[in-house]
């Protein structure tokens, strides 16, 4: 048991799997020699060598194509897309090729690969390097979508993603890289599709993801001191989606709040809200409320970006007013 | 190379004809000297058989369209059989092929039987993809036919992955990606060829240049004469152009490129000059093509030309007829079997999204 | 007043605007000489000539880049992306460039352009040529999203899109091209962001888009004969979204059904459902129900595709059961 | 060109060093013969002034980072000033520039005053983009500076659009796209250059080859020596390489390429050989670069070399000092003004999503 940063957890998770399975390889831009632009993959080249840890040209389509073709033929690649915004330059590989290959071929083609990426804002990188695009991924049938909020989960969910026989998009949050927690020694393996209840409370259910988890927890602490007792669910993966945990909780609390970093329209919270508004309608005691980044591009200035992305204060305020 | 040289390192673009107009491009004459090429006679008979298989399959599919039995779209390779056949013969059985939506021929050329192909076109449960993929996505992993891809360019990148995998596994396999002239202008082409060159991957890029995108002549939107081959220098890899309607010519190049790749020499580009007999897809009569161009290419049909070559080098007409009729019988039988197969079960909708066989994305 | 197909309406709409404004140009693959692969743009080359109607290489990024750069500098381009599935090969141009340029530059950059595309299924083209991706577009702040259901609306909304000072994605439905209706002579201009109530009924509100509109209307007819009286709202545009019309209707009917062709997760109906579950919660008499294509890639076979995409029967069944 | 030739039309790739290793690349010696180039002295003084503006602006921004006044990331062009300055001088005021995230220099070189640039870096309301864009998106439409783009490749396609527009409007304007060596391997590069060639657009593609992507040497992932110039032949357009640290050399080529484009000759590629003095971005110490390579390039600094040239051709030291100090004074004043400006108003979050000034996406 030692303190581990979310950043260090990335290379620990990858190394754990590369040690276990010699068919796991890792590729991306500046990931080998330099250890990644976020220094998430330091040490991998030294341990596993240049055949398994590969620096690529700036060619995101070629990177994901290489990953897919290798996955189809017995290799288990982990590919890095440096910033999740860059999925836009290789989206075809994700949505039309990787996601659909198994179904289109009625099960002939396997695509066991992981695409990891730096996602999210609060880092003052501006509109083209700060997006939360996990909802883009969730909208595409055929890919699994994971977004850990803690160092432990980075390791355990990375392991689960690498071992999964299906393609997984693994969204690391850039603003969480520096956070740390105590993480057990030895192998860690979590399960995809299981949410984690991070706090139990009877007054409402807050569903959050990635950076929004610590913010929701902070808001819950604030509200607790005012006598409002919240459950906070860390979704951890969007596909598979653990609706059971959400529906069970709403049955108890009768109120649902989602906290999303993606811009509002068609965010994952809309999906969750629509499921609850259908399947738990009679459990609800009041409106389903979504707390999101407004539907606009992200500004670069710290002042403006902090206004855009849900803060603990905004979460607490919204819930306080709604439960009033 | 430095200094303010005003030299032009590369030629200025030549004038191109205006929109919607283009100069006809005629085939080079069939190269009879290849009668004496170093290709065993059994190989040549195999090349003939595979060309026949492709031709007769495509003709049958065309007939089935006309009978309105094929739903959706479809893209035939009538007139373009030679290169699929040549690679089908030249590849080892565990090598990888990646094709486009115009991939029926590349599929049967890898030894996939005609019945599941036809059944897939008819949307039957016995189809190669259980009816889920359709005409544009024929795939048979067990035959090394790693898929047909309907969005231009992607599979060139994916073929690299299979080639990389072969290298990682030290298996000696190679990967071939077939694509059209039009595909050379999309970004994925550039990324894929460059990537293969950087890692010296055993990927063979085969551009089947049939002179047209869908309805637009490639020369109208491409500033070099050979849209694939003329770009190889941008990646420092070898390239060749070839009469794509001469199965022997393509076979010789294929053998060489495969050997080059298999022995660690890296990727290369082969650009075959060919022509489709029909339109781009089922709906297209192909009227944008100058009459005399079409005529010249119809006369440069790979199959009768190859038939003549075989006769010239001493194969008997009877042996050729036997091949033709045995292929016909196989296609007939496959058609009947496919036609009498049931449509997919409703349950099939819900299978094989995930490796567990199912589709559940939530609990 | 004459019968016009949805297909013919496309070229009529474009021609109307090209006649009106000489700065309108049109580009795409096989659109000029051949009149488009769906024959939607026949005649434009003849009328407007090759300078304004341009056949391009297969280079979707270059096409949208050309459109954007031209729009920034005084031209009003209409670009075609042949099938909406191909947005995946040029998604960066849409989401990171075109959508964000104005905001990132604090209003300096104008992007008045239209991207029209063939969207949707029921045409047996398989998983890579049948997608309904209007929800991909709706998820991106900074672009307007239009999807007409009728020939009249194709003309009128095309005109509105071309005149709009912001970028508009214009989703034509492939399975509607052959449909026709009487369309008035002369100039037609509709307004973006106004839904149209296609049928009024008091028992529930059905919100639909594009191909789902005629199917919802057919379902409503069926239900009417059984005594269930439905309102059918044709959204017409997703951004701007006419929530007023929806909320007003739900106030009357107390029940909401959405009919979406996109696969379920994060579809536009989720957004609509979440808005209603929040803002009209107290108006609702029962669960909000979404009728969608299941969350899976589309199969090619007609039998399977027809099971996947909502049919009038499935719509009617679902509503019948829900209101039982 | 047809027939089964086994000729290799282009050279086989040369061996490249292994991962993480690369041979150092040294600058060519400064070309003193350009002292006598046909460039008026006022133009040269302008070239010197613009190089000073870029240098001093970037140094100031660096200082502001160190003081922790710049949030987010930032990419400096220290050492790479010559080409931005050369085009700044060579372009007409209504021509179009498109830059990358490494675009501060290209912005000031078009005449944008330093104050709004610095204010934008500091995230102030008076910033060029009101604080919304930040370091990577500097834009000043009124100066023809059509934006800085942070996703590799896109702006090459967008520059074509501006060039096309100029052609449609018959305005005689040209568009210049600046980009790095690493950008030449992305698909958008291929699509953009091809597209410009097809339509003979007045687009000038300027690759500022500083030998590195972020931390990876370009030679490690590119199979040709000149990643931009060596690819021009794939599009049939002219290209040149040039000492990117010699403002006169770049200026001569710029003038020529602009004239070529403006007069209807179509696009061209210029590849400048240059080097950044610091790391890729603020966080990067640049330690992946061999010491002697860095040393050689630090000695090949465009500004002292140009200073020496001006002295050699008879400009007085005093005149140069005057330029330097007047630039310094302007940067100082701009810094003070920017520092004392307020942060953006909260309302600014909600403005300029749409042309109506607002952000409403629903009623
Ligand atoms: C990215 C993308 N853009 C456009 C299309 C539509 N499309 C299908 S085939 C085709 C023409 C392709 O021409 P070519 O590469 O020469 O192949 P051919 O059909 O001639 O074999 C086009 C434009 C597509 N499938 N994918
Ligand atoms: C599509 C895309 N991939 C990756 C990146 C991340 N990235 C930013 S700068 C850079 C290196 C670019 O190198 P080069 O083109 O040589 O330009 P330089 O920074 O040297 O000026 C990379 C990989 C990006 N911004 N966009
Ligand atoms: Mg073709
Ligand atoms: Mg560089």
Q: Which residue has its alpha carbon closest to ligand 2 atom 18?
A: D180
What is the sign of the dihedral through the CA atoms of C197, C201, C202 and C207?
A: negative
Reading the block at residue B99, the tokens are: 């094709």
Tell me the C-alpha distance between C239 and C141, whole Å: 9
Tell me the C-alpha distance between B91 and B100, whole Å: 18
* C289, pLDDT greater than 60: yes
Tell whether B84 is covered by a domain. Answer: yes
| Catalytic site includes residue C60 | yes
- D284 within 8 A of A29, measured Cβ to Cβ: no
Reading the block at residue C184, the tokens are: 């008035």
Mean pLDDT of C104-116: 98
Q: What is the CATH number of the domain that holds B192?
A: 3.40.50.970
- Whether C175 and C207 map to the same domain: the answer is no
Provide the 8-state DSSP code for D270: E
Ligand 1 centroid – CA B102 distance (Å): 10
Tell whether D6 is covered by a domain. Answer: no
Pairs across B and D, CB distance < 8 A: 195
Ligand 2 centroid – CA D31 distance (Å): 30
Q: Does the CB atom of residue C265 touch ligand 1 within 6 A?
A: no
Q: What is the pLDDT of residue D11?
A: 33
Domain span at C82 = 2-183
Annotated catalytic residue: which of C8, C29, C60, C260? C60
Tell whether B9 is covered by a domain. Answer: no
Tell whether B319 is covered by a domain. Answer: yes
Tell me the C-alpha distance between D166 and D181, whole Å: 27
**Contact flag C102-D146 (C-beta cutoff 8 Å):** no
Reading the block at residue B174, the tokens are: 């190679």
Helical H runs in C207-260? Answer: 212-224, 243-253
Q: Give the tens place of pLDDT for each residue, B249-270.
A: 999 999 999 999 999 999 999 9
- Whether A109 and A27 map to the same domain: the answer is yes
* B7, pLDDT greater than 80: no
Provide the CB-side half-sphere exposure for D90 (13 A, CA). Answer: 29
Single out the residue of D129, A119, A296, D347 nearest to residue C143, CA to CA. A296
pLDDT under 70: residue ranges of chain D: 1-21
Tell whether D21 is covered by a domain. Answer: no
* C316, pLDDT greater than 60: yes
- Whether A143 and A222 map to the same domain: the answer is no
| Catalytic site includes residue C260 | no
Mean pLDDT of C281-292: 98
3-state secondary structure of A308: helix
DSSP C92-153: IIIIIIITTHHHHTTT------EEEEEE--SS---TTS----HHHHHTSTT-EEE---SHHH
Tell me the C-alpha distance between A57 and A62, whole Å: 9
Residue numbers in B near A62 (CB within 8 A): 157, 160, 188, 191-192, 194-195
- Whether A148 and A294 map to the same domain: the answer is no
Tell whether C191 is covered by a domain. Answer: no
* C250, pLDDT greater than 60: yes
Single out the residue of D334, D220, D205, D226 nearest to residue D274, CA to CA. D226
- Whether A158 and A208 map to the same domain: the answer is no
Ligand 2 centroid – CA D228 distance (Å): 15
Tell whether C190 is covered by a domain. Answer: no
Per-residue burial over B64-98, b = 16 or more CB atoms within 10 Å of its CB, e = otherwise: bbeeebbbbbbbbbbbbbbbbbbbbbbbeeebbbb
Ligand 1 centroid – CA B297 distance (Å): 21
Single out the residue of B338, B139, B346, A171 nearest to residue C127, CA to CA. B139
Q: Which of C138, C275, C277, C323 to mutate to test the interface with A (most CBs of A within 10 A)?
A: C277
**Contact flag A240-B156 (C-beta cutoff 8 Å):** no
Tell whether A188 is covered by a domain. Answer: no
Residue numbers in B near C125 (CB within 8 A): 72-73, 134, 136
Helical H runs in B230-316? Answer: 247-262, 291-299, 302-312
Of the two residues B13 and C169, the one the predictor is more confident about is C169
- Whether C207 and C286 map to the same domain: the answer is yes
Residue D29, classified by CB atoms within 10 Å of its CB into exposed (0-12), middle (13-18) or buried (19+), is exposed
3-state secondary structure of C208: strand
Reading the block at residue A42, the tokens are: 């330091």
Tell whether A89 is covered by a domain. Answer: yes
Q: What is the pLDDT of residue D21?
A: 63
Last residue of a domain, one of C183, C206, C223: C183
Q: What is the pLDDT of residue B21?
A: 63
Q: Which residues of A touch D (CB under 8 A)?
A: 29-30, 32-34, 37, 45, 50, 54-61, 85-86, 88-89, 123-129, 265, 294-297, 299-304, 307-308
Reading the block at residue C285, the tokens are: 């008499």
* B228, pLDDT greater than 80: yes
Last residue of a domain, one of A183, A214, A247: A183
Across chain C, what does the average pLDDT equal? 98
Task: Give the end-to-end CA distance of chain D in Å, rounded to a whole number.
Answer: 63
- Whether A19 and A72 map to the same domain: the answer is yes
Last residue of a domain, one of A143, A158, A183: A183
Residue numbers in A near C281 (CB within 8 A): 284, 286-288
- Whether C86 and C210 map to the same domain: the answer is no
Residue numbers in A near B133 (CB within 8 A): 104-106
Atom of ligand 2 nearest to the CA of D186: 1
What is the sign of the dihedral through the CA atoms of A4, A10, A15 and A21?
A: positive
Tell whether D15 is covered by a domain. Answer: no
- Whether C219 and C122 map to the same domain: the answer is no
User: Distance, in angstroms, between C104 CA and closest chain D CA?
Assistant: 4
* A260, pLDDT greater than 50: yes
Q: Give the tens place of pLDDT for each residue, D214-255.
A: 999 999 999 999 999 999 999 999 999 999 999 999 999 999
- Whether A133 and A216 map to the same domain: the answer is no
**Of B152, B179, B216, best ligand 1 pocket probe by most atoms within 8 Å of the beta carbon:** B152
**Contact flag B10-D239 (C-beta cutoff 8 Å):** yes
**Contact flag A50-D19 (C-beta cutoff 8 Å):** yes
Tell whether B247 is covered by a domain. Answer: yes
Confidence of residue B14 (pLDDT cuts 50, 70, 90): very low
Q: What is the pLDDT of residue B250?
A: 98
Q: What is the CATH number of the domain that holds A269?
A: 3.40.50.920
Mean pLDDT of B168-193: 98
Ligand 2 centroid – CA C189 distance (Å): 44
Residue numbers in A near B352 (CB within 8 A): 102-103, 106-107
* A220, pLDDT greater than 80: yes
Tell whether C75 is covered by a domain. Answer: yes
- Whether A179 and A222 map to the same domain: the answer is no
Q: What is the pLDDT of residue C218?
A: 98
**Contact flag C278-A289 (C-beta cutoff 8 Å):** yes
Domain total of chain B: 1
DSSP B59-71: HHHHHHHHTT---
Q: What is the CATH number of the domain that holds A96?
A: 3.40.50.970
User: Distance, in angstroms, between B265 CA and closest chain D CA?
Assistant: 9
Q: Which helix (H) or strand (E) holds A5?
A: strand A2-5
Q: Which helix (H) or strand (E) holds C271?
A: helix C268-279
Domain total of chain A: 2
Tell whether B31 is covered by a domain. Answer: no
Q: What is the pLDDT of residue D23?
A: 87
Reading the block at residue C252, the tokens are: 């009357």
Q: What is the pLDDT of residue D2?
A: 31
Q: Provide the 10 A C-beta neighbour count for residue A169.
A: 31
Q: State how beta strands C196-199 and C230-234 pair.
A: antiparallel
Q: Which helix (H) or strand (E) holds A306?
A: helix A302-308
Q: Give the tens place of pLDDT for each residue, C116-138.
A: 999 999 999 999 999 999 999 99
Per the DSSP assignment, residues forming a β-bridge with C125 are none
Q: Tell me which residue in D137, D141, D161 faces C68 most closely, judged by beta carbons.
A: D161
Q: Which residue has its alpha carbon closest to ligand 2 atom 13?
A: D213
**Contact flag C65-D198 (C-beta cutoff 8 Å):** no
Q: Give the tens place of pLDDT for each residue, B120-157.
A: 999 999 999 999 999 999 999 999 999 999 999 999 99
Tell whether A189 is covered by a domain. Answer: no
Q: Which helix (H) or strand (E) holds D120?
A: helix D114-121
- Whether C211 and C130 map to the same domain: the answer is no
User: Distance, in angstroms, between A43 CA and closest chain C CA?
Assistant: 32
Domain span at D227 = 37-338
């Amino acid at each position: 048991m030692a303190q581990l940063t979310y950043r260090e957890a990335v290379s620990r998770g990858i190394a754990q799997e590369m040690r276990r399975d010699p068919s796991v390889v890792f590729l991306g831009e500046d990931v080998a020699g330099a250890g990644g632009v976020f220094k998430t993959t330091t040490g991998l080249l030294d341990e596993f060598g240049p055949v398994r840890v590969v620096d690529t040209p700036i060619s995101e389509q070629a990177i994901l194509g290489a990953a897919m073709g290798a996955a189809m033929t017995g290799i288990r690649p982990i590919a890095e897309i440096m910033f999740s915004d860059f999925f836009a330059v290789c989206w075809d590989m994700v949505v039309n090729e990787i996601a659909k290959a198994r179904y289109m071929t009625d099960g002939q083609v396997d695509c066991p690969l992981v695409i990891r990426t730096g996602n999210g804002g609060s880092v003052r990188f501006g509109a083209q390097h700060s997006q939360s695009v996990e909802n883009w991924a969730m909208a595409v049938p055929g890919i699994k979508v994971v977004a850990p909020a803690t160092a432990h989960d980075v390791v355990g969910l990375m392991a689960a993603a690498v071992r999964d026989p299906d393609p997984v998009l693994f969204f690391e949050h850039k603003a969480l890289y520096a956070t740390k927690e105590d993480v057990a020694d030895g192998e860690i393996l979590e399960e995809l599709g299981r949410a984690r209840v991070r706090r139990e409370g009877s007054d409402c259910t807050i569903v959050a993801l990635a950076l929004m988890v610590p913010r929701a927890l902070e808001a819950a602490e604030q509200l607790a001191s005012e006598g409002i007792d919240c459950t906070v669910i860390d979704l951890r993966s969007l596909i598979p989606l653990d609706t059971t945990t959400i529906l069970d909780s709403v049955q108890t609390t009768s109120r649902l709040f989602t906290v999303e970093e993606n811009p509002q329209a068609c965010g994952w919270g809309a999906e969750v809200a629509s499921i609850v508004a259908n399947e738990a309608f009679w459990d609800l005691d009041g409106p389903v409320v979504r707390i999101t980044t407004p539907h606009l591009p992200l500004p670069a200035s710290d002042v403006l970006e902090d206004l855009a992305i849900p803060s603990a204060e905004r979460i607490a305020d919204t819930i306080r007013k709604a439960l009033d | 190379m430095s200094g303010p040289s005003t030299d032009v390192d590369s030629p200025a673009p030549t004038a191109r004809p205006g929109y919607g107009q283009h100069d006809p491009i005629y085939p080079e004459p069939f190269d009879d000297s290849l009668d004496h090429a170093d290709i065993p006679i059994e190989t040549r008979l195999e090349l003939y058989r595979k060309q026949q298989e492709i031709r007769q399959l495509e003709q049958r599919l065309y007939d089935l369209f006309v009978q309105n039995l094929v739903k959706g779209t479809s893209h035939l390779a009538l007139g373009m059989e030679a290169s699929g056949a040549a690679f089908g013969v030249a590849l080892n059985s565990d090598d990888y092929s990646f094709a486009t939506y115009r991939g029926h021929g590349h599929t049967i050329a890898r030894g996939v039987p005609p019945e599941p192909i036809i059944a897939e076109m008819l949307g039957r449960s016995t189809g190669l993809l259980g009816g889920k993929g359709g005409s544009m996505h024929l795939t048979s992993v067990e035959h090394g036919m790693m898929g047909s891809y309907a969005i231009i360019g992607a599979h060139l990148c994916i073929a690299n992955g299979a080639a990389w995998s072969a290298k990682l596994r030290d298996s000696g396999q190679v990967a071939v990606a077939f694509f059209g002239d039009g595909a050379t202008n999309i970004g994925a082409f550039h990324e894929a060829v460059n990537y293969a060159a950087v890692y010296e991957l055993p990927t063979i890029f085969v551009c089947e240049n049939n002179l047209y995108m869908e309805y637009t002549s490639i020369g109208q939107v491409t500033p070099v004469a050979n849209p694939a081959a003329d770009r190889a220098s941008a990646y420092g890899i070898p390239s060749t152009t070839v009469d794509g309607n001469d199965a022997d010519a393509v076979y010789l190049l294929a053998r060489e490129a495969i050997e080059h790749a298999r022995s660690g020499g890296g990727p290369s580009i082969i650009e075959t000059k060919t022509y489709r007999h029909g339109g781009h897809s089922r709906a297209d009569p192909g009227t944008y093509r100058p009459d005399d161009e079409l005529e010249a290419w119809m006369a440069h049909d790979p199959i009768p030309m190859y038939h003549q070559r075989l006769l010239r080098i001493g194969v008997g007409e009877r042996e050729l007829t036997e091949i033709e009729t045995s292929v016909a019988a196989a296609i007939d039988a496959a058609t009947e079997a496919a036609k009498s197969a049931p449509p997919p079960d409703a349950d099939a909708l819900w299978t094989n999204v995930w490796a567990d066989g199912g589709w559940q994305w939530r609990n």
